[in-house]
A and B are shown apart, each in its own frame.
Chain A
């Protein structure tokens, strides 16, 4: 996705270089954010392709080697291609959790009925499998897990979420919001088991259940792994580039190797790997400004993306620090409307907004995002931000 954005902006900004977008997947770049709704059938697989500007897509063309000194890259079919500037936008891979029975005994990949949801191919396989599925378990209750569970439920498959954390999406929400979200999921046919760890998968040829750490077994014939992602750094690593969690870049989005840049889920900027689409696009925009020559000195200084979910009747927005227990200097303002299933919370330090959650009713999301992003002092009672 970051690659597509870069290519599109590069052309639009008047860049004159020839841009080639190499990708291992069999399709040109598409919008991954929409995958859960490709699963529900809201989007066709074909229709989520992204604009590429004047770039030439080379799908099905995995880059397996990189030589920063010679300024070449090697493709899976053995050919070697030269470059003047290289943009690493290799993205991330799903994390496979340490669960017994995850892989086939013959070593041929994931056990039948077990899926990840990162690519259109994943999505296609999962959709096929979901047609005959009676019961699904999603392992992981973060954003992807919630989206996937909601999508499976929308397809008519009763679904359960096993989540290791204390409540859903604990990286963005607080306990109360997690609980409200759990209730809303229940209404659409998704049951959640927080504070539970999956220990093993049952089944010989095909998965038949998920065994929890407490010994309980959830019967199912479909499992989706949603345990987070890890930056794809192997190419950078084998090329001798320093690698931390991601590929470290400076404010120019440059890696340690001259001419090599990194953006998106594979990049680590100021010790942060965002792993989200909006910061990836911010980075792509800055790099396009630099490399097209439109603004050779443009700098990326970080993103403050609001966390946002807005599909299938589940809606929330969360910003900044939402757990007031970590800091005694924080004040909290809460508004809960049980009948409408909405929950709103502001976290304040003095007259500054440092974090917020809106769940259910998002009417004030714009003013809230604005106040948080600008970091201006709040002049009157912050209640107006909640109503």
Chain B
């Protein structure tokens, strides 16, 4: 007998609706081994039935052969991982965590979470860290994702939600500037909104150093050097002011700080911006005119401008452009961030961030501490303060003052962290590394204990998509014997560490507590229930009570600042953490390909996706290739101050001649993050993934070995 379950895709922040059919004859369903088949769910508004290749092939990873089906244990450092039972594994973890805490103090136990975890897991992980481990040191890979946009959002609007409007508003805006985002490859089902925008007569402007598939669909493509986004935004603001397109009435009634922003823009006159960004003045003018004269407009940023050591300021400058032109806090206008991971939004709202408590509360705010401590039944004084941010947490592992034991779930920093070779060495320096993951990721391979956990189709839980829409994933099938949910793992560990209550493993029960913990916070979920989500195709936060309809559009009446006005950032351009010089004369920028997701821990195990995107590559311009005497497919070595990566050349005139591009989904010799720079944004603590200075050369004989290594890594 077959059953169908309405649920959502496990991958990106769109959280596309999908229907899973289970219990049928897998062979007949056309899915060789997968225990479930993906069907369309056309009624769900975000994707209206559309799915990309990642979503369609997601059940492949549910098959027992593709994943871990029992805990693994390492008996001694350097020894092999062996199978173990759950009781033995959990005893070992609990004893190890307790021992480190005993010897080195509570903060010596670190927790590293992920933006792919459900709200319930993120909430419970934060509570586990603060209540059971009592450590300040919990952070997550979302710090590598949206933290700059989040910081800029809060600075400008007093509240951070990826999009202040539903995606379906996009086709109704007059002009949309997409900065450093490539939805055609990263979230294909969203592309239709951009196409509909153009069909309706709106204009699409894409800012990207590469002519991506998305940029190719734009009316105007601005192709700045990496790191030029901040100056570019200020250059457009300058022209908007010069052309008399400032919405004076809006600026006077709904904002503060325009004078500072105007002065900042005056320091960025067109010739200077051309020199900084490489974008000709004529194209700056065209963009400023299109955006300035449109009745309504949106600016969306993604990782390009955000993953920089000036990411918060860069996003702030783009927000300033919206504010100056009156394109915020109004229907079909506003600034938004295309969040990345499946629960990139919800994952940052409920307490796995070093400086935050559930409901998007500050851990330094006494009232917030009192409220959350009340829900948790503890003394507010017992709650730890703010801990280290993600890279700083990883950088300190095993060192004096840093964590000596790490509990890691939903992340694969060996591939995804900046300066990854260094981070790998730090992970090896731990007394105890515990990794919970459905698969044996590159990071799990370093662990002392690996705990196999359930996947999206095997558990209930909510996520919050990029629109701020809280949606519900439904359990469609049973996990294999030997696999447990993270909620269950946390319950078991809490009990072993002496906390018997407060860690239920039923997701809805956890959600009900999360609702109470979030009540009155910025991200208020108290009116949202599983029943409502199912009935309403998701509910937008804030939703403070059962009768509240939710908030699809934010800021229409006022911004969430104390005085209700949006705040101009008034920032100026500054150089990147690392600029090209004689020794490292080129920019490296990193990004994604359609058929892979993040560190690839999931997608690299799906044959169909590997066939489409089998391995890393280095994209370079024909003129650069000619200068380096590199032909298509030749191995090239890319070297930065932090390391060297080798991958085949892919030659295309879609990239600037002064820039090379590498996707970051792979480990081994072609690992892009071996090269990236951990220079941090001073506000968001976001590392500078999107640009560093490199030298590129043809890889010679001696590097064939590393190439073979890559091939082997990929095959594994």
Contacts and interface: CB of A to CB of B under 8 A. Distances in A.
B278 A50 contact: no
Nearest to A48: B266
A306 B623 contact: no
Interface in A29-66: 30-31, 33-34, 37, 42-43, 47-52
A379 B630 CA distance: 12
B338 interface: no
B263 A362 contact: no
A333 B386 CA distance: 63
Given A310-B271, A366-B279, A51 B574 contact: no
Contact of A34 (B263, B269, B274, B279): B269
A310 B263 contact: no
A367 B623 CA distance: 11
Contacts of A374: 585, 658
Contact of B574 (A12, A33, A310): A12
A376 interface: yes
B76 to A, nearest CB: 47
Most chain A beta-carbon contacts within 10 A, residue among B263, B274, B574:
B263
B269 A384 contact: no
B627 A377 contact: yes
Contacts of A370: 278, 657-658
Interface residues of A, number: 39
Contacts of A306: 275
Interface string A355-376: 0000000110111011000101
B604 to A, nearest CB: 36
B270 A30 contact: no
A380 interface: yes
A45 B266 CA distance: 12
Contact of A379 (B270, B623, B658): B623
B242 interface: yes
A365 to B, nearest CB: 5
B163 to A, nearest CB: 30
Interface string B220-248: 00000000000000000000011100000
A366 B280 contact: yes
Contacts of A379: 623, 626-627
A315 interface: yes
A71 interface: no
Contact of B242 (A43, A315, A380): A43
A12 B572 contact: yes
B613 interface: no
Contacts of B100: none
B272 interface: yes
A365 B267 CA distance: 21
A278 interface: yes
B520 interface: no
B271 A8 contact: no
B262 interface: yes
Contacts of B269: 31, 33-34
A5 interface: yes
Contacts of B243: 42
Most chain B beta-carbon contacts within 10 A, residue among A31, A305, A306, A380:
A31
Contacts of B658: 370, 374
B260 interface: yes
Contacts of B264: 51
Interface in A19-35: 30-31, 33-34
A277 interface: yes
Contact of A47 (B241, B260, B278, B572): B241
A82 B529 CA distance: 67
Interface of A: 4-5, 8-9, 12, 30-31, 33-34, 37, 42-43, 47-52, 277-278, 281, 305-306, 308, 310, 315, 362-363, 365-367, 369-370, 374, 376-377, 379-380, 384
Interface of B: 241-243, 260, 262-264, 266-267, 269-272, 274-275, 278-282, 570, 572, 574, 585, 623, 626-627, 657-658
